[in-house]
Amino acid sequence: MRLLITGILNGQLSQATKIALDRGAQVSHADSIEMAMNHLRSGRGADIMMVDVKLDIASLISALETEHITLPVVACGIENDARAAVNAIRAGAKEYIPLPPDPEIIAAVLEAVAKDQGELIYRDPAMGNVVQLANQIAPSDASVLITGESGTGKEVLARHLHSHSRRATQPFVSVNCAAIPDSLLESELFGHEKGAFTGAVARRIGKFEEANGGTLLLDEISEMDIRLQAKLLRAIQERVIDRVGGSKSVPVDIRIIATSNRNLSDEVRNGKFREDLLYRLNVINLQIPPLRERPQDIDLLAAHFADKYAQANCLPQRKLGSDCARHLHASTWDGNVRELENTIHRAVLLATGTEIGAEALRMPNGSRMDQTIIGLASGPVAHAVIAAEGVTRNLVGRTVSEVEQELILETLDHCLGNRTHAANILGISIRTLRNKLKQYSEEGVPVPQPGEGRIAS
């Protein structure tokens, strides 16, 4: 765990540093936001940032998003900084920790970040065979291609490989090739020198250098432009990279793991993926079966998600009822584990009895999530779901963007402005949600703030 502490706060963050070091974290310091950004650009990286709440956290979050640097930000401040704490959360901080720091709180935050990176949970023999092969090849430096449908847990398996490798104490760096425009992906991977292009105001170390000594995950590599694939092939073959605008090659020592939800052999035949690159990546292929082909995992994963979201929402722990389990096993789970997680998250919010029953589930009808089983559920949450169902049924004559906006705002309203919960329910990243809400605000659309609902018009 790499922790970057930003700010001074009368030396109290130094105490937090000692606590984190005692918990096994690697800690770095930056006195200001600019120094923190320079640290991240330099390739030293971080898994989490703890920031003095008095610094401009909104500018920090904006800078991170602009440079495609993804990591959770935790604000820290003295206990009576209530207004600053609220502003930090609204700006995008994941949590707020009062100072002086409590060792148990610091430990809990570090543990939560580690868990957010994903846990490999399985029981079904079909998944067990994949994990057994993964454990067998984990200690090697061989490139691995992980394939499977969207939502099956490819990144979770990649992190498992890293944690069981000889590089486990070194960085694990992930880059989503589908989420970054082609024009920026080269700089994101290989870095750039100051002045290499418009907007390159400083040298930026790319993901290859940041992962040096560890593992680099190229997520959804099938989305990479074929022209950039040639440069990637050279980097994998020769273990050297060239920064954009740079004049000399930089050696790197990394293990490559790539994922794809497409058949790359078909992509090769269609001229969209280089055959020689496929050979380099596909030394070992780990193919994750879809959730419908590993039914014994459904109950185990559902129970895990039920406990996780009950705790996250400060709700009582409830077991899954037998009728709930029957409905779960009747679904085809086209969205796999990700769809199951979102379904159980909703069920945790809707459940009202001593256990989670079928009435709390939004179940798929065929391959579409278009049927809500309300049953015995009552109260404002159930009414909110019924209202949302009425909105989504009235689709004809409306544009996709209009429907999307209404769904996002209705969900945010339902969550009383809690962006993290809304993003989880919607099945999108918190970053995507923030970008959408920023766009709506700029268009003059009222957006609920944390702790608020929308004012009816």
Under 8 Å CB-to-CB from 222, ≥6 apart: which residues?
177, 260, 261, 262, 264, 267, 272, 273
At residue 399, the 3 state secondary structure works out as: coil
- pLDDT of 92 reads 84
- pLDDT of 124 reads 93
User: How close are the terminal C-alpha atoms of the chain, in Å?
Assistant: 47
Question: What secondary structure, in 3-state letters, does 184-197 show?
Answer: HHHHHHHCECCCCC
**Alpha-carbon distance 361 to 408, whole Å?**
20
Write down all domains in the chain, each with its CATH number in brackets: 2-116 (3.40.50.2300), 125-289 (3.40.50.300), 292-442 (1.10.8.60)
- pLDDT of 386 reads 42
Helices marked H in 354-429 — which ranges? 380-393, 400-414, 419-426
Q: Which of 215, 196, 212 is nearest to 204 (CA)?
A: 196
pLDDT in tens, the chain (457 residues): 788 888 876 666 666 677 777 766 788 888 899 999 888 887 777 888 889 888 899 899 888 877 777 788 888 887 666 777 778 888 888 778 877 767 777 667 766 665 555 578 899 999 999 999 999 999 999 999 999 999 999 999 999 999 899 998 888 999 989 888 887 898 889 988 887 777 677 788 889 999 999 999 999 999 999 999 999 999 999 999 998 888 888 999 999 999 999 999 999 999 999 999 999 999 999 999 999 999 999 999 999 999 888 877 778 889 999 888 888 998 889 999 999 988 898 888 888 888 998 888 854 443 333 343 433 333 444 444 444 444 444 555 567 777 788 888 888 877 777 787 788 778 788 888 888 888 888 888 888 776 565 544 3
Q: What is the pLDDT of residues 359-373, one digit of tens each?
A: 888 544 433 333 434
**Alpha-carbon distance 254 to 141, whole Å?**
8
**Alpha-carbon distance 251 to 254, whole Å?**
10
Question: Both tokens of residue 405?
Answer: 């906006």
Q: What is the pLDDT of residues 233-246, one digit of tens each?
A: 999 999 999 988 88
Task: Please work out, in degrees rounded to the nearest 5, the angle formed at the alpha carbon of residue 207 by the alpha carbons of 204 and 209.
Answer: 80
**Alpha-carbon distance 37 to 66, whole Å?**
11
Overall size of the chain counted in residues? 457
Phi, psi of 363 (to 5 degrees): -105, 150
Chain position carrying tokens 């769904």: 407
Q: What is the pLDDT of residues 197-244, one digit of tens each?
A: 776 777 888 899 999 999 999 999 999 999 999 999 999 999 999 988
- How many angstroms separate the Cα of 366 from the Cα of each of 302, 330, 331, 332, 334? 20, 10, 8, 7, 9
